[in-house]
Amino acid sequence: MWVESLFVAPEHRRRGVAAALYRRAEELSCGFGGSPPYNYVHPNNDAMIGFLKKRGYTVLNLIELRRPRREEPLRERVMVGEHAFDY
């Protein structure tokens, strides 16, 4: 199972809704004989990264490469193993 997005309306956040939804996704995934869900998370999505780390998730192997647009500023440097990328 892949999880690409999780959204809780702002007025319902910080009440355990996302945690309950995610727990159920884990139950379903494992119940069908699979492993816990894989997650596609953008590297600057600090909220989701924190949410998943709190639940024991860590980086597996996902890296996405693309050529930046001509006018797109690259302000950071990201290390993936021994490889450095402008981000």
pLDDT 10s digits, 43-70? 778 888 889 999 999 877 666 777 888 8
pLDDT score of 66: 76
Separation of alpha carbons 62 and 41, rounded Å: 9
> pLDDT tens, 13-38?
999 999 999 999 999 999 988 888 98
Give me the pLDDT at residue 34, please.
85
* pLDDT tops 80 at residue 72: yes
Q: Where are the domains of the chain?
A: 2-86
**Dihedral, CA atoms, 9, 14, 15, 16, nearest 10 degrees?**
100
CATH architecture of 2-86: 3-Layer(aba) Sandwich (3.40)
Residues 52/61, Cβ–Cβ less than 8 Å: no
